[in-house]
Structure 1
Amino acid sequence: MDTHLLSHLLLHKPINYSSSLLSHPLLKNGHFKSAAVLVPIVKRETGYHLILTQRAPHLRHHPSQISFPGGKVEPDDLSLIHTAIRETNEEIGINPAHIKPLVKLNTIPTISGYKVTPIVALIDENYTTAIDYGEVSSTFEAPINHLINPKNTYNHHVFNKKHTYNLIFIPFDKKLIWGVTAEIIHAMNYITA
Protein backbone atom coordinates (compact mmCIF):
# COMPACT_ATOMS: atom_id res chain seq x y z
CA MET A 1 0.00 0.00 0.00
CA ASP A 2 2.85 2.44 0.78
CA THR A 3 4.43 1.80 -2.62
CA HIS A 4 0.99 2.46 -4.13
CA LEU A 5 0.90 5.86 -2.37
CA LEU A 6 4.38 6.81 -3.54
CA SER A 7 3.57 5.82 -7.14
CA HIS A 8 0.39 7.90 -7.06
CA LEU A 9 2.23 10.91 -5.66
CA LEU A 10 4.42 10.84 -8.73
CA LEU A 11 1.45 10.57 -11.09
CA HIS A 12 -1.33 12.57 -9.42
CA LYS A 13 -0.85 15.76 -7.48
CA PRO A 14 -3.25 16.21 -4.57
CA ILE A 15 -5.59 19.10 -5.30
CA ASN A 16 -8.08 19.04 -2.46
CA TYR A 17 -7.21 21.56 0.22
CA SER A 18 -10.00 22.72 2.50
CA SER A 19 -12.31 25.00 0.55
CA SER A 20 -13.17 26.96 3.70
CA LEU A 21 -9.49 27.63 4.34
CA LEU A 22 -8.87 28.68 0.75
CA SER A 23 -11.83 31.09 0.86
CA HIS A 24 -10.69 32.86 4.04
CA PRO A 25 -11.14 36.67 3.63
CA LEU A 26 -7.50 37.32 4.55
CA LEU A 27 -6.48 35.47 1.38
CA LYS A 28 -8.38 37.77 -0.97
CA ASN A 29 -5.86 40.63 -1.01
CA GLY A 30 -3.53 38.49 -3.13
CA HIS A 31 -0.27 39.79 -1.60
CA PHE A 32 1.72 36.71 -0.68
CA LYS A 33 5.34 35.86 -0.04
CA SER A 34 6.56 32.61 -1.61
CA ALA A 35 7.63 29.74 0.59
CA ALA A 36 8.35 26.03 0.20
CA VAL A 37 8.29 23.10 2.57
CA LEU A 38 9.82 19.68 2.16
CA VAL A 39 7.48 16.71 2.60
CA PRO A 40 10.25 14.25 3.50
CA ILE A 41 9.44 10.56 3.06
CA VAL A 42 11.74 7.83 4.36
CA LYS A 43 11.29 4.10 3.76
CA ARG A 44 11.38 1.89 6.82
CA GLU A 45 10.75 -1.85 7.29
CA THR A 46 7.20 -1.04 8.37
CA GLY A 47 6.53 1.19 5.34
CA TYR A 48 6.97 4.82 4.38
CA HIS A 49 7.16 7.49 7.09
CA LEU A 50 7.03 11.29 7.03
CA ILE A 51 9.73 13.23 8.84
CA LEU A 52 8.12 16.06 10.80
CA THR A 53 9.47 18.79 13.04
CA GLN A 54 8.21 20.44 16.18
CA ARG A 55 8.85 24.16 16.05
CA ALA A 56 10.74 25.77 18.92
CA PRO A 57 8.47 26.99 21.76
CA HIS A 58 10.00 30.49 21.86
CA LEU A 59 9.11 31.35 18.24
CA ARG A 60 6.77 34.28 17.70
CA HIS A 61 4.74 32.53 14.98
CA HIS A 62 3.36 29.01 15.43
CA PRO A 63 5.41 28.11 18.54
CA SER A 64 5.65 24.34 19.23
CA GLN A 65 3.49 23.55 16.18
CA ILE A 66 4.19 20.38 14.20
CA SER A 67 5.38 21.25 10.71
CA PHE A 68 7.36 20.23 7.69
CA PRO A 69 10.82 21.77 7.38
CA GLY A 70 10.78 24.81 5.12
CA GLY A 71 10.45 28.54 4.89
CA LYS A 72 10.33 31.60 2.71
CA VAL A 73 12.09 31.92 -0.61
CA GLU A 74 15.36 33.85 -0.39
CA PRO A 75 16.71 35.95 -3.30
CA ASP A 76 19.59 33.52 -3.91
CA ASP A 77 17.34 30.44 -4.15
CA LEU A 78 17.38 28.91 -7.61
CA SER A 79 13.90 27.34 -7.32
CA LEU A 80 11.22 26.30 -4.84
CA ILE A 81 12.91 22.90 -4.66
CA HIS A 82 16.15 24.66 -3.74
CA THR A 83 14.30 26.61 -1.02
CA ALA A 84 12.81 23.46 0.52
CA ILE A 85 16.14 21.61 0.51
CA ARG A 86 18.09 24.62 1.85
CA GLU A 87 15.58 25.20 4.65
CA THR A 88 15.57 21.51 5.57
CA ASN A 89 19.35 21.53 5.80
CA GLU A 90 19.35 24.73 7.86
CA GLU A 91 16.57 23.66 10.25
CA ILE A 92 17.29 19.98 10.84
CA GLY A 93 20.64 19.35 9.17
CA ILE A 94 19.68 16.69 6.63
CA ASN A 95 22.42 16.60 4.03
CA PRO A 96 21.12 17.73 0.61
CA ALA A 97 22.81 14.65 -0.90
CA HIS A 98 20.32 12.53 1.10
CA ILE A 99 17.30 14.33 -0.40
CA LYS A 100 15.79 13.18 -3.71
CA PRO A 101 12.98 15.52 -4.82
CA LEU A 102 10.06 13.67 -6.41
CA VAL A 103 7.20 16.07 -7.12
CA LYS A 104 5.88 19.56 -6.40
CA LEU A 105 2.38 19.58 -4.95
CA ASN A 106 -0.15 22.33 -5.49
CA THR A 107 0.60 25.62 -3.74
CA ILE A 108 -1.50 26.44 -0.70
CA PRO A 109 -2.07 30.00 0.54
CA THR A 110 -1.90 30.63 4.28
CA ILE A 111 -3.65 33.22 6.39
CA SER A 112 -0.20 34.37 7.55
CA GLY A 113 0.46 35.72 4.03
CA TYR A 114 2.49 32.96 2.37
CA LYS A 115 1.92 30.80 -0.67
CA VAL A 116 3.50 27.52 0.36
CA THR A 117 4.60 24.94 -2.20
CA PRO A 118 5.11 21.45 -0.77
CA ILE A 119 7.98 19.47 -2.33
CA VAL A 120 7.71 15.71 -1.80
CA ALA A 121 11.14 14.12 -1.50
CA LEU A 122 12.54 10.70 -0.72
CA ILE A 123 15.10 10.78 2.08
CA ASP A 124 17.98 8.31 2.38
CA GLU A 125 17.16 5.88 5.19
CA ASN A 126 20.57 6.55 6.77
CA TYR A 127 19.99 10.30 7.10
CA THR A 128 21.12 12.11 10.22
CA THR A 129 19.91 15.36 11.74
CA ALA A 130 21.64 18.38 13.27
CA ILE A 131 18.80 20.45 14.70
CA ASP A 132 18.91 24.24 14.80
CA TYR A 133 17.27 24.69 18.21
CA GLY A 134 16.63 28.33 17.41
CA GLU A 135 13.94 27.12 14.99
CA VAL A 136 13.11 23.50 15.83
CA SER A 137 12.87 21.68 19.16
CA SER A 138 12.74 18.13 17.75
CA THR A 139 12.09 15.87 14.78
CA PHE A 140 10.17 12.62 14.57
CA GLU A 141 8.93 10.10 12.02
CA ALA A 142 5.28 9.12 11.60
CA PRO A 143 3.90 6.35 9.37
CA ILE A 144 2.12 7.75 6.33
CA ASN A 145 -0.57 5.07 6.56
CA HIS A 146 -1.52 6.35 10.02
CA LEU A 147 -1.48 10.02 9.00
CA ILE A 148 -3.64 9.64 5.89
CA ASN A 149 -6.12 7.20 7.45
CA PRO A 150 -9.49 9.03 7.66
CA LYS A 151 -10.11 7.33 11.04
CA ASN A 152 -7.22 9.38 12.45
CA THR A 153 -8.37 12.72 11.04
CA TYR A 154 -10.69 15.14 12.82
CA ASN A 155 -12.38 18.24 11.42
CA HIS A 156 -13.32 21.20 13.60
CA HIS A 157 -14.96 24.49 12.70
CA VAL A 158 -12.94 27.42 14.01
CA PHE A 159 -14.14 31.01 14.29
CA ASN A 160 -11.42 33.58 13.65
CA LYS A 161 -11.82 37.29 12.88
CA LYS A 162 -15.44 37.11 11.72
CA HIS A 163 -14.86 34.03 9.58
CA THR A 164 -15.58 30.38 10.28
CA TYR A 165 -13.45 27.77 8.57
CA ASN A 166 -12.67 24.12 8.89
CA LEU A 167 -9.40 22.97 10.48
CA ILE A 168 -8.02 19.47 10.16
CA PHE A 169 -6.39 17.81 13.17
CA ILE A 170 -4.34 14.60 13.06
CA PRO A 171 -3.27 13.23 16.46
CA PHE A 172 -0.13 11.11 16.56
CA ASP A 173 1.86 9.84 19.54
CA LYS A 174 0.68 12.55 21.98
CA LYS A 175 1.25 15.22 19.32
CA LEU A 176 -1.35 17.16 17.35
CA ILE A 177 -0.73 17.95 13.68
CA TRP A 178 -2.93 20.76 12.35
CA GLY A 179 -2.90 23.84 10.11
CA VAL A 180 -1.19 23.80 6.73
CA THR A 181 0.81 20.68 7.64
CA ALA A 182 -2.40 18.73 8.27
CA GLU A 183 -3.94 20.18 5.07
CA ILE A 184 -1.01 18.88 3.01
CA ILE A 185 -1.14 15.44 4.66
CA HIS A 186 -4.93 15.28 4.32
CA ALA A 187 -4.71 16.19 0.61
CA MET A 188 -2.36 13.24 0.10
CA ASN A 189 -5.21 10.98 1.25
CA TYR A 190 -7.26 11.80 -1.85
CA ILE A 191 -4.75 10.24 -4.21
CA THR A 192 -4.80 6.79 -2.61
CA ALA A 193 -8.35 5.91 -3.69
Structure 2
Amino acid sequence: MPDLTQRLQDALSQSGDASSDFDLNDDVRVPDHALTAASVLIGIRAETETVILTKRSARLKHHPGQIAFPGGKQDPGDAGPIDAALREAQEEIGLPRHQVDILGALPPHQTVTGYQVTPVLALVNGGFDPTPEAGEVSEVFEVPLRHVTSPQMFQIEGRRWQGRKRHYYAVPYGPYYIWGATARILRALAERMT
Protein backbone atom coordinates (compact mmCIF):
# COMPACT_ATOMS: atom_id res chain seq x y z
CA MET A 1 0.00 0.00 0.00
CA PRO A 2 1.43 3.44 -0.88
CA ASP A 3 2.41 5.66 2.01
CA LEU A 4 0.08 8.39 3.23
CA THR A 5 1.79 11.21 1.34
CA GLN A 6 1.57 9.30 -1.94
CA ARG A 7 -2.09 8.40 -1.36
CA LEU A 8 -2.97 12.04 -0.71
CA GLN A 9 -0.97 13.30 -3.69
CA ASP A 10 -2.70 10.70 -5.87
CA ALA A 11 -6.07 11.98 -4.58
CA LEU A 12 -5.12 15.56 -5.45
CA SER A 13 -4.17 14.49 -8.97
CA GLN A 14 -7.62 12.99 -9.63
CA SER A 15 -9.99 15.03 -11.73
CA GLY A 16 -13.11 16.36 -10.12
CA ASP A 17 -15.41 19.33 -10.16
CA ALA A 18 -15.77 22.03 -7.58
CA SER A 19 -18.35 21.22 -4.92
CA SER A 20 -21.07 23.29 -3.34
CA ASP A 21 -23.79 23.27 -0.73
CA PHE A 22 -26.18 23.05 -3.72
CA ASP A 23 -24.91 19.69 -5.05
CA LEU A 24 -27.84 17.72 -3.65
CA ASN A 25 -30.43 20.46 -4.15
CA ASP A 26 -31.36 21.12 -7.78
CA ASP A 27 -34.16 23.50 -6.79
CA VAL A 28 -31.90 25.84 -4.78
CA ARG A 29 -30.52 28.72 -6.80
CA VAL A 30 -26.83 29.53 -6.61
CA PRO A 31 -26.34 33.15 -5.46
CA ASP A 32 -25.45 35.45 -8.36
CA HIS A 33 -23.42 37.89 -6.25
CA ALA A 34 -19.66 37.91 -5.74
CA LEU A 35 -18.43 35.29 -3.32
CA THR A 36 -16.10 35.98 -0.39
CA ALA A 37 -12.78 34.10 -0.60
CA ALA A 38 -12.07 31.76 2.31
CA SER A 39 -9.79 28.80 3.07
CA VAL A 40 -9.83 25.80 5.36
CA LEU A 41 -6.99 23.49 6.37
CA ILE A 42 -7.59 19.77 6.00
CA GLY A 43 -4.78 18.94 8.41
CA ILE A 44 -3.92 15.25 8.64
CA ARG A 45 -1.60 14.04 11.38
CA ALA A 46 1.05 11.98 9.64
CA GLU A 47 1.73 9.65 12.60
CA THR A 48 -1.89 8.72 13.34
CA GLU A 49 -3.60 9.31 9.98
CA THR A 50 -6.29 11.41 11.63
CA VAL A 51 -7.98 14.59 10.42
CA ILE A 52 -7.96 17.59 12.77
CA LEU A 53 -11.39 19.18 13.21
CA THR A 54 -12.89 21.78 15.52
CA LYS A 55 -16.19 22.32 17.25
CA ARG A 56 -17.13 25.97 16.88
CA SER A 57 -17.97 27.97 19.98
CA ALA A 58 -21.65 28.06 20.91
CA ARG A 59 -21.25 31.84 21.37
CA LEU A 60 -20.52 32.52 17.69
CA LYS A 61 -23.13 34.34 15.61
CA HIS A 62 -22.65 32.10 12.55
CA HIS A 63 -22.66 28.28 12.69
CA PRO A 64 -22.41 28.01 16.51
CA GLY A 65 -21.49 24.55 17.77
CA GLN A 66 -20.93 23.12 14.29
CA ILE A 67 -18.01 20.92 13.31
CA ALA A 68 -15.53 22.65 11.01
CA PHE A 69 -12.01 22.65 9.69
CA PRO A 70 -9.73 25.38 11.00
CA GLY A 71 -10.17 28.22 8.54
CA GLY A 72 -11.98 31.35 7.57
CA LYS A 73 -12.14 34.37 5.34
CA GLN A 74 -9.03 35.46 3.46
CA ASP A 75 -7.69 38.74 4.82
CA PRO A 76 -6.12 41.44 2.61
CA GLY A 77 -2.70 40.66 4.14
CA ASP A 78 -2.83 36.96 3.19
CA ALA A 79 -0.62 35.93 0.28
CA GLY A 80 -3.37 33.60 -1.00
CA PRO A 81 -5.57 30.71 0.06
CA ILE A 82 -2.73 28.62 1.53
CA ASP A 83 -1.45 31.52 3.60
CA ALA A 84 -4.99 32.20 4.85
CA ALA A 85 -5.51 28.55 5.85
CA LEU A 86 -2.20 28.48 7.73
CA ARG A 87 -2.92 31.78 9.49
CA GLU A 88 -6.40 30.66 10.53
CA ALA A 89 -5.12 27.29 11.80
CA GLN A 90 -2.48 29.05 13.89
CA GLU A 91 -5.05 31.50 15.29
CA GLU A 92 -7.84 28.98 15.93
CA ILE A 93 -5.96 25.91 17.20
CA GLY A 94 -2.36 27.08 17.74
CA LEU A 95 -0.94 25.00 14.88
CA PRO A 96 2.61 26.22 14.11
CA ARG A 97 3.25 26.74 10.40
CA HIS A 98 6.58 24.92 10.54
CA GLN A 99 4.76 21.67 11.40
CA VAL A 100 2.59 21.80 8.28
CA ASP A 101 3.59 20.31 4.92
CA ILE A 102 1.22 21.62 2.24
CA LEU A 103 0.32 19.00 -0.37
CA GLY A 104 -2.05 21.10 -2.47
CA ALA A 105 -5.68 22.14 -2.68
CA LEU A 106 -8.95 20.55 -3.70
CA PRO A 107 -11.25 22.43 -6.08
CA PRO A 108 -13.16 25.21 -4.31
CA HIS A 109 -16.39 24.70 -2.41
CA GLN A 110 -19.20 27.25 -2.63
CA THR A 111 -21.37 27.71 0.46
CA VAL A 112 -24.97 28.87 0.80
CA THR A 113 -23.62 31.68 2.99
CA GLY A 114 -21.71 33.24 0.07
CA TYR A 115 -18.16 31.92 0.50
CA GLN A 116 -15.83 30.38 -2.06
CA VAL A 117 -13.79 28.05 0.17
CA THR A 118 -10.42 26.63 -0.89
CA PRO A 119 -9.76 23.33 0.95
CA VAL A 120 -5.98 23.13 1.55
CA LEU A 121 -4.72 19.58 2.11
CA ALA A 122 -1.69 19.20 4.38
CA LEU A 123 0.23 16.85 6.62
CA VAL A 124 0.84 17.88 10.23
CA ASN A 125 4.15 16.51 11.52
CA GLY A 126 5.56 16.09 15.00
CA GLY A 127 3.98 16.57 18.39
CA PHE A 128 1.25 19.17 18.34
CA ASP A 129 -0.84 20.07 21.39
CA PRO A 130 -3.87 22.04 20.14
CA THR A 131 -4.76 25.28 21.87
CA PRO A 132 -8.36 26.25 20.99
CA GLU A 133 -8.96 29.98 20.61
CA ALA A 134 -11.67 30.43 23.24
CA GLY A 135 -13.75 32.96 21.31
CA GLU A 136 -14.09 30.74 18.23
CA VAL A 137 -13.35 27.12 19.11
CA SER A 138 -14.78 25.09 21.97
CA GLU A 139 -12.98 21.85 21.14
CA VAL A 140 -10.31 20.37 18.86
CA PHE A 141 -10.61 16.67 18.07
CA GLU A 142 -9.46 14.13 15.49
CA VAL A 143 -11.25 11.65 13.27
CA PRO A 144 -9.59 8.69 11.54
CA LEU A 145 -8.83 9.51 7.91
CA ARG A 146 -10.20 6.12 6.85
CA HIS A 147 -13.59 7.03 8.39
CA VAL A 148 -13.99 10.27 6.41
CA THR A 149 -12.56 8.89 3.16
CA SER A 150 -14.88 5.87 3.00
CA PRO A 151 -17.89 6.86 0.87
CA GLN A 152 -20.08 4.28 2.63
CA MET A 153 -19.73 6.24 5.89
CA PHE A 154 -21.57 9.23 4.39
CA GLN A 155 -25.31 9.70 4.64
CA ILE A 156 -27.61 12.08 2.79
CA GLU A 157 -29.85 13.87 5.25
CA GLY A 158 -32.14 16.86 5.10
CA ARG A 159 -33.75 19.67 7.03
CA ARG A 160 -35.88 22.67 6.25
CA TRP A 161 -34.02 25.79 5.14
CA GLN A 162 -35.61 28.96 3.79
CA GLY A 163 -38.99 27.26 3.50
CA ARG A 164 -37.86 24.15 1.61
CA LYS A 165 -36.20 20.83 2.33
CA ARG A 166 -32.43 21.05 1.86
CA HIS A 167 -30.33 17.90 1.51
CA TYR A 168 -26.71 17.61 2.59
CA TYR A 169 -24.00 15.08 3.34
CA ALA A 170 -23.30 13.97 6.90
CA VAL A 171 -20.53 11.72 8.20
CA PRO A 172 -21.15 11.29 11.95
CA TYR A 173 -18.32 10.11 14.17
CA GLY A 174 -19.02 9.21 17.79
CA PRO A 175 -20.57 12.25 19.47
CA TYR A 176 -19.66 14.51 16.52
CA TYR A 177 -22.21 15.31 13.83
CA ILE A 178 -20.12 16.33 10.83
CA TRP A 179 -22.36 17.80 8.14
CA GLY A 180 -22.82 20.59 5.63
CA ALA A 181 -19.81 22.16 3.96
CA THR A 182 -17.32 20.23 6.13
CA ALA A 183 -18.88 16.89 5.21
CA ARG A 184 -19.17 17.87 1.53
CA ILE A 185 -15.48 18.79 1.37
CA LEU A 186 -14.57 15.48 3.05
CA ARG A 187 -16.84 13.67 0.59
CA ALA A 188 -14.93 15.30 -2.29
CA LEU A 189 -11.70 14.00 -0.79
CA ALA A 190 -13.23 10.55 -0.29
CA GLU A 191 -14.32 10.45 -3.93
CA ARG A 192 -10.73 11.10 -5.00
CA MET A 193 -9.23 8.52 -2.64
CA THR A 194 -11.38 5.57 -3.72
The corresponding residue for 1:32 is: 35
Conserved? CA contact 1:42–1:50, under 8 Å? yes
The corresponding residue for 1:189 is: 190
Number of aligned residues: 190
AA aligned opposite 1:189: A
Conserved? CA contact 2:12–2:106, under 8 Å? no
User: Greater shift after overlay, 11-20 or 60-69?
Assistant: 11-20
Structure 1 segment 14-33 matched on structure 2, within 5 A: 14-15=16-17, 17=19, 19-20=23-24, 24-25=28-29, 27-33=30-36
The corresponding residue for 2:180 is: 179
1:114-141 CA distance string (max 9 Å, x none): 1111000110131222221100011111
CA distance in 2, matches of 1:58, 1:155: 28
Structure 1 residue 16 displacement after superposition: 6.3
Aligned-partner SS, 1:172: coil
RMSD: 2.0
1:78-136 CA distance string (max 9 Å, x none): 11100000000000001011111111111111111111110001101312222211000
The corresponding residue for 1:44 is: 47
Structure 1 segment 101-120 matched on structure 2, within 5 A: 101-120=102-121
User: Normalized against structure 1, the TM-score is what?
Assistant: 0.89
Structure 1 residue 52 displacement after superposition: 0.4
Conserved? CA contact 1:14–1:188, under 8 Å? no
Aligned-pair identity (%)? 32
Structure 1 residue 14 displacement after superposition: 4.6
Structure 1 residue 44 displacement after superposition: 2.8
Structure 1 residue 146 displacement after superposition: 1.0
Structure 1 residue 70 displacement after superposition: 0.4
CA distance in 2, matches of 1:128, 1:69: 15
Aligned-partner SS, 1:174: coil
More strand, by proportion: 1
Aligned-partner SS, 2:101: strand
User: Normalized against structure 2, the TM-score is what?
Assistant: 0.89
The corresponding residue for 1:142 is: 143
Gaps of 5+ in 2: none
